[in-house]
């Protein structure tokens, strides 16, 4: 039996996060702090052998995933509108490994 591990990563900070604005499906960018956060999580996950990466198609989530995938050549980012944030739910990026 194969074990599948799912890593869920929240996007880095945006200016709207700092201002406590609920972004929902508003397509915002990472700010400089969010870029640093994404780079830190990328470093922390660099030795995890991912087989797939699925992200919301919103820029803040996809940009976070792209920074992580710098350390994972051969893993393609799949953006999926269906996993966009919904009010009251989390927007995430999923990384899978078997």
- Encode pLDDT of 31-50 as tens digits: 999 999 999 999 999 999 99
Q: Which of 13, 72, 85, 91 is catalytic?
A: 85
Write down the domain spans for the chain. 5-97
User: Which CATH topology does 5-97 take?
Assistant: Rossmann fold (3.40.50)
Token reading at 14: 């945006």
Catalytic residue among 11, 13, 72, 91: 11
Tens-digit pLDDT profile for residues 64-83: 999 999 999 999 999 999 88
Give me the mean pLDDT over the 1-15 stretch: 91
Report helix, strand or coil for 7: strand
The C-alpha atoms of residue 17 and residue 5 are separated, in whole angstroms, by: 29
Q: How far is residue 94 from each of residues 16, 18, 32, 70, measured CA to CA in Å?
A: 23, 24, 23, 16
Find the helix or strand (DSSP H, E) in which 94 lies.
strand 93-97
In which band, very low, low, confident or very high, does the pLDDT at 88 lie, cut at 50, 70 and 90?
very low
Would residue 15 show up in a list of annotated catalytic residues for this protein? no
């Amino acid at each position: 039996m194969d074990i599948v591990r799912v890593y869920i990563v929240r996007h880095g900070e945006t200016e709207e996060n700092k201002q406590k604005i609920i972004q929902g499906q508003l397509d915002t960018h990472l700010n400089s702090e969010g870029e640093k956060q994404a780079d830190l999580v990328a470093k922390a996950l660099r030795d995890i052998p991912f087989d797939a990466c699925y992200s919301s198609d919103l820029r803040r989530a996809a940009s976070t995933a792209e920074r992580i995938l710098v350390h994972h050549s051969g893993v393609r980012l799949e953006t999926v509108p269906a996993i966009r944030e919904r009010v009251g739910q989390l927007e995430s990026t999923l990384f899978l490994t078997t």
